[in-house]
Amino acid sequence: GAGTQQWVLDDTPGQLRTRLHTSLADSRLELGYLVQHQDASRGGLRGQGVELASAGWGNVHAGQGLLLSTTARAEGASTQLDITEAVAQLKGAERTAEGLHETLLQQQVPGFDANARLTALREALDAEVDGKYADSVAGQSAMKPAGGGREPGEEPVERFADPKLVAESPESIAFATQKSAVAYAGGALHLTAQADVQLSAGQTFASVSGQHAALYAHAGPIRAIAANGPLSLQAHTGPLELLADKSVTLTATDERIDVLAKEKIVLQAGQVQVTLEGGNITFACPGNFTVKAGEQPFRGGVSGDVRLSLPDGILKLEPDRMLDFSG
């Protein structure tokens, strides 16, 4: 039929390579020294290592777990699913998250419910807990050889306790697309960084929580700035509290500051209090009440209506309408 298939073994000194190729969807596997392949000659260098490519579809299935790693192993030493470095990184993430969790609880801020799931994930990968084979597999010991010999030692051979996909690198990991990207978790989505986390959007940034949301900075300021628009803080069904250990400053550089309440406003400093309630203004102080002005006219009373309204927002998350990818 039409098309070709190739199996190339190239033993050029210092440039060993193997190539499996079928012309259907230009599918190929190349190992070793990668060059531009031509039927009658060798082309230019393309790289070194392994390349699996196809102009058609592709998939990788691993029913018991899959590891993608750029951590080198000298001469292919260690075992298939040895992820010692990744487990160490997950332990560091646990310590960071737990430390911040305890700090939040001390400040009466709801903590991280996802921490327990991070621990369960790490234990399923950790050979010191569940991430290992049993004593033997198909009659052969599942313990690593001791001292580079053949006799079983005391360290177990690593494996994932359940099917997981692990991507690990001692350097950076990059995800990029010119279009949209989606990250979804049916349970918890846990993001932890030892240093900085930066989220940037060229247009709109929206963060929505179905229950509570907390923003906490342990050492350093929090700044909310609207450079070219209004800034709004709203509590639709409960109180809005501003609390500072020292001072609170409200400044309007161009126009005015309005303090509105439907029923009552109380201004208090120490033992001095000013109350605005109904149609009355009450001044209360244990010392002198002094009014200084060029004139002190007191005219008849007038009134003004205060109109305050907040939008209604009701969110219903129905478990039976959520997506289920369990199979």
Last residue of a domain, one of 151, 176, 201: 176
What is the C-alpha to C-alpha distance for residues 69 and 48, in angstroms, rounded to an integer?
A: 17
Regarding whether 74 and 47 lie in a shared domain, the answer is no
Last residue of a domain, one of 176, 206, 221: 176
Among 44-58, 103-117, 155-169, 268-282, name the one with the lowest average pLDDT: 103-117
What residue type is 213 in one-letter code? A
Last residue of a domain, one of 176, 192, 223: 176
The single-letter DSSP state of residue 75 is: G
What is the C-alpha to C-alpha distance for residues 76 and 256, in angstroms, rounded to an integer?
A: 72
**Is the residue at 252 inside a domain?**
no
**Is the residue at 77 inside a domain?**
yes
**Is the residue at 111 inside a domain?**
yes
Regarding whether 157 and 80 lie in a shared domain, the answer is yes
- pLDDT (tens digit per residue) in 241-272: 999 999 999 999 988 999 999 899 999 999 99
- Tokens read off for 96: 């960071």
- pLDDT (tens digit per residue) in 20-29: 999 999 999 9
Q: Domain of 168?
A: 68-176
**What's the pLDDT band for 320 if we cut at 50, 70, 90?**
low
Per the structure, the count of domains in the chain is 2
**Is the residue at 63 inside a domain?**
no
Regarding whether 84 and 164 lie in a shared domain, the answer is yes
Regarding whether 120 and 48 lie in a shared domain, the answer is no
**Is the residue at 133 inside a domain?**
yes
Check pLDDT > 60 for residue 319. Answer: no
